């Protein structure tokens, strides 16, 4: 859905009639209508994209399993990192875990 050209003309006519005292209100109302129109179009496109890229149940299960394995592995790795290298090592370990999960989620 697009904004009809007559709405822009109506907003300009309202601005002329109401004068500069109410200009901000006229502009805000028009921008709000344009924003709602853009939001609807974006929502429609997102629905279309989600429909074409839906994740299958087995893939969701694999992603969930990867997350669980990461958390289980993260517990001893956290202890080792804190004992051996401190905060810097801890950050490296968890950054690696996060990157592995992101890479796994993007693989198809």
Domain count, the chain: 2
> Is 4 or 100 the better-scoring residue by pLDDT?
100
The pLDDT score that the predictor gives to residue 95 is: 93
**100/104 Cα distance (integer angstroms):** 6
Whether the pLDDT of residue 90 is over 70: the answer is: yes
H helices present in 1-108, as ranges: 5-18, 23-52, 57-84, 87-106
Q: What are the structure tokens assigned to 8, written together?
A: 């822009």
pLDDT score recorded for residue 53: 57
Closest to 68 measured CA to CA, from 101, 44, 21, 40: 101
Give tens-digit pLDDT for 18-76.
877 877 888 888 788 888 888 888 888 888 877 655 556 787 888 889 889 999 999 99
What's the CA gap between 29 and 8, in Å, rounded? Answer: 11
Q: Are 76 and 97 members of one domain?
A: yes
Residue 28 and residue 45 in one domain? yes
Residues ≥6 apart with Cβ < 8 Å to 46: none
Whether residues 83 and 47 share a domain: the answer is no
Contacts with 67 (C-beta within 8 Å, 6 or more apart), sequence order: 101
45 and 62 in a single domain? The answer is: no
C-alpha to C-alpha distance for 45 and 25, rounded to whole angstroms = 30
Quick one: 29 and 66 in the same domain? Answer: no
pLDDT-derived band at 96 (thresholds 50, 70, 90) equals: very high
Residue with tokens 């500069």, as numbered in its chain: 20
pLDDT of residue 94: 92
Same domain, 43 and 20: yes
Residues 83 and 101 in one domain: yes
Quick one: 66 and 86 in the same domain? yes
Instruction: Print the domain residue range for 18.
Output: 5-52
């Amino acid at each position: 859905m697009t904004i009809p050209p007559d709405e822009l003309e109506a907003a300009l006519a309202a601005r002329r009639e109401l004068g500069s005292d109410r200009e901000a209100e006229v502009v805000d109302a028009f921008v709000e209508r344009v924003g709602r129109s853009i939001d609807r179009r974006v929502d429609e496109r997102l629905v279309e994209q989600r429909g074409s890229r839906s994740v299958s149940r087995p893939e969701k299960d694999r992603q969930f399993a990867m997350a669980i394995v990461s958390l289980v592995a993260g517990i001893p790795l956290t202890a080792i990192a804190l004992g051996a290298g401190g905060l810097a090592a801890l950050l490296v370990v968890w950054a690696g875990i996060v990157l592995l999960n992101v890479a796994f989620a993007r693989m198809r």
